[in-house]
Amino acid sequence: MKRHETKSVKVGNLTFGGNNKVYIQSMTNTQTYDVKATVAQIKRLEEAGCEIVRVAVLNKRDAAALGEIKRQIKIPLVADIHFDYKLAIEAVNQGVDKIRINPGNIGSMEKVQAVVDACKSKNIPIRIGVNSGSMMDGMDPTPENMVKAAKYHVDILESLGFYDIVLSLKATNIETMIEAYRLASVTFPYPLHLGVTEAGTAFGGSIKSAMALGILLYDGIGNTIRVSLTDTPEIEIRAAKEILNNLGLRDNTPNLISCPTCGRIQYDMIQIAKDIETYLTTVNKKITVAIMGCKVNGPGEAKHADIGVAGGKGEAVIFKKGEIVTKVKESEVYDTLTKMIDEF
């Protein structure tokens, strides 16, 4: 899938834009000044597959913690700041890899210049984030107005000779969001950070995000994604990986297929599918695993799977590429499959 052409922007050791990988990001929900809790959450996110993490910087105490957080984590750190240019400069001095701030909200041009100078001195990009819920001057959040708002902020940075820009145009309404990003992709040369804002809880929000992000990513639009969910941030990573994997934008992510079950089912397949799905979140390789309800149709229906299981009464057959290779007791299915996944 060809990616839409954009300028390349460095964020820590990653390069956003063009044909580079589409990176997964999330945001912590700890108090940023609580270094221990924030680092612990970021480590869980790293483990889950998060590639960039953003923290909210509300005050000097938060800003002062950034350096220590940065030292203890592996992935690029982004500081999310509203309005306060001094916090932005402190974040840059603390060593963050990117800041999210809207230059039009900072105040005087002297203050914007100070932030731009700080970012230029450390090669730190700025993400401009337009959000449908907080449009300037009471503007309606139409796609055109969202792009207009982004252009207002972009023009300020470009007038100061600053071009290390990433843009987001998040909306709660997915039609608005899709059109805003489409328009932005032909208006600006900068990488796009995709997201549906306030998408909802894990179930509904993941579906909404998959629809919106999927449509854009399929058209080659988008260079980094955040699936915003009302849940623990690790769940966001799981949803993001699923979206990218199903679009063929990940090469080290497992794929689980499982049948919907029907009257032929004879074992506790639903629980096994859930357990294997959880196990696969810890696996970083391309493998398709099939969990099928019956041994009459299962292996045949899942011929394209690398390995899989199809249950019978109190037992199950294990198959590879649609061919049955062994038979195990129902209680041994999980261990057998996880061993085979590890050995694959």
Q: Which residues bind ligand SF4 (CB under 6 A)?
A: 259-262, 264-265, 292-294, 297-298, 301
Shortest distance (Å) from residue 332 CB to ligand SF4: 20
Q: How far is the CB of 318 from ligand SF4 (least distance, A)?
A: 15
SS (HEC) of the chain: CCCCCCCCEEECCEEECCCCCCEEEEECCCCCCCHHHHHHHHHHHHHHCCCEEEEECCCHHHHHHHHHHHHHCCCCEEEECCCCHHHHHHHHHHCCCEEECCHHHCCCHHHHHHHHHHHHHHCCCEEEEEEHHHCHHHCCCCHHHHHHHHHHHHHHHHHCCCCCEEEEEEECCHHHHHHHHHHHHHHCCCCEEECECCCCCHHHHHHHHHHHHHHHHHCCCCCEECCCCCCCHHHHHHHHHHHHHHCCCCCCCCEEEECCCCCCCCCCHHHHHHHHHHHHCCCCCCCEEEEECCCCCHHHHCCCCCEEEEECCCEEEEEECCEEEEEEEHHHHHHHHHHHHHHC
User: Which is closer to ligand SF4, CB of 128 or CB of 317?
Assistant: 317
The residue nearest ligand SF4 at its CB is 293
For ligand SF4, give the closer residue by CB, 101 or 259: 259
Q: Minimum distance from CB of 207 to ligand SF4 (Å)?
A: 22
Smallest distance from the beta carbon of 334 to ligand SF4, in angstroms? 18
In the complex, minimum distance from the CB of residue 246 to ligand SF4, in angstroms, rounded to a whole number: 21
Determine the Cα–Cα distance for residues 290 and 145; give it in Å rounded to an integer: 46
User: In angstroms, what is the minimal distance from the CB of 253 to ligand SF4?
Assistant: 24
CB of 302 to ligand SF4, least distance (A): 8
Pick the closer one to ligand SF4 by CB: 77 or 290: 290
For ligand SF4, the closer CB: 156 or 290 = 290
Nearer to ligand SF4, 177 or 310 (CB): 310
| Residue with smaller CB distance to ligand SF4, 191 or 298 | 298
Nearer to ligand SF4, 118 or 317 (CB): 317
